[in-house]
């Protein structure tokens, strides 16, 4: 792996723990003003000190995040559809030149395996990998799930492995039973989990714990942090579980501390 690629990856995945807590706030690209992100800067900027990286679109970044931030940016580069339409119908919505201009540490797009536009989304990933390899920028592939897709290890293993085969450097997928099988399907490519819809804080911490125990290197979590009634407590708790190996009860104690 080339120096620049390694350097960018080590800004996101802690060389000390081998783990990472990414904060995902890119939901607006298809959901519009998502609960908790209407005033994105007000929600996200206080959380930044506790995140290892921020997953965001270029528009949100330029509007709400101060350029003085030292947080690595994972730039969401696919989109072109909304919750009102077929979600898999994505194109690449930013150029790699713009990713370099904003100093992105990684670039990302969604891949909809089984979706109506599966092939095009795989082609989007392939294009990002080609450009990422050219400029030393790692690519995070999101295994997006369509409305009727089963979120089981067979499906998520299939989707994740395809992203690995296309050349992604990090896989973002959903937690499921037998998650170890999904991680194993990815070989040496690191796996992080999305949080998904807002659930109880203890449940979300349990999911993070179980994912790490099954071999994931971290989370790329959004709603379960920024929609929590105590977002700072929650991100600190997730950090403790991911980086420090804390138990769910210990993490939950941290969450409740400054509520
Ligand atoms: C959408 C995404 C989001 O970043 C992802 O869903 C993470 O956020 P959450 O934890 O809220 O699910 O990749 O495709």
Ligand 1 atom showing the smallest separation from residue 108 Cα: 13
Cα(89) to centroid(ligand 1), Å = 17
For residue 152, give its domain range.
3-13+20-195+217-223
**Taking the model in full, what pTM does it have?**
0.96
| CATH number for the domain harbouring residue 158 | 3.20.20.70
Environment class of 197 (CB within 10 Å of its CB; exposed 0-12, middle 13-18, buried 19+): exposed
Going by pLDDT thresholds of 50, 70 and 90, the confidence category of residue 259 is: low
In a domain, 241, yes or no: no
What pLDDT is stored for residue 145 in this prediction? 83
In a domain, 202, yes or no: no
Cα–Cα distance for residue pair 193/173, rounded to 1 Å: 5
Choosing from 172, 180, 202, 246, the catalytic residue is: 172
Cα–Cα distance for residue pair 249/118, rounded to 1 Å: 40
In a domain, 247, yes or no: no
pLDDT digits (tens, 9 = 90+) for 122-149: 999 999 999 999 999 999 999 998 767 7
Look up 172 and say whether it is catalytic.
Answer: yes
Ligand 1 atom showing the smallest separation from residue 26 Cα: 4
In a domain, 54, yes or no: yes
In a domain, 191, yes or no: yes
Ligand 1 atom showing the smallest separation from residue 227 Cα: 11
Tally of domains within the chain: 1
pLDDT digits (tens, 9 = 90+) for 33-87: 999 999 999 999 999 999 999 999 999 999 999 999 999 999 999 999 999 998 9
In a domain, 251, yes or no: no
Cα(221) to centroid(ligand 1), Å = 7
pLDDT digits (tens, 9 = 90+) for 178-228: 999 999 999 999 999 999 999 999 999 999 999 999 999 999 999 999 999
In a domain, 147, yes or no: yes
In a domain, 145, yes or no: yes
Pocket test for ligand 1, best of 61, 147, 222, 238 (most atoms within 8 A of CB): 222
Whose alpha carbon is nearest atom 1 of ligand 1? Answer: 27
């Amino acid at each position: 792996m080339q120096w620049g690629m390694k350097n960018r990856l080590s800004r996101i995945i802690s060389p000390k723990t081998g783990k990472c807590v990414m904060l995902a706030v890119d939901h607006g690209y298809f959901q519009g003003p998502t609960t908790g992100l209407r005033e994105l800067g007000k929600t996200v900027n206080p959380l930044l000190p506790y995140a290892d990286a921020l997953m965001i679109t270029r528009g949100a970044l330029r509007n709400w995040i101060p350029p003085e931030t030292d947080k690595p940016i994972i730039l969401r580069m696919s989109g072109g559809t909304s919750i009102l339409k077929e979600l898999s119908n994505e194109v690449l919505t930013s150029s790699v030149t713009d990713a370099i201009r904003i100093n992105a540490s990684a670039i990302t797009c969604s891949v909809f395996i089984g979706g109506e536009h599966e092939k095009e989304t795989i082609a989007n990933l392939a294009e990002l990998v080609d450009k990422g390899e050219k400029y030393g920028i790692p690519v995070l592939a999101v295994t997006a799930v369509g409305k009727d897709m089963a979120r089981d290890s067979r499906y998520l293993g299939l989707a994740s492995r395809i992203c690995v085969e296309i050349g992604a450097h990090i896989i973002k997928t959903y937690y499921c039973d037998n998650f170890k099988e999904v991680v194993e399907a990815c070989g040496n490519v690191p796996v992080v989990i999305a949080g998904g819809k807002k659930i109880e804080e203890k449940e979300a911490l349990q999911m993070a714990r179980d994912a790490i125990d099954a071999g994931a290197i971290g989370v790329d979590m959004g709603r379960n942090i920024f929609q929590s009634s105590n977002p700072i407590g929650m991100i600190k708790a997730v950090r403790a579980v991911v980086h420090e190996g804390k138990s769910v009860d210990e993490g939950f104690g941290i969450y409740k501390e400054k509520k």
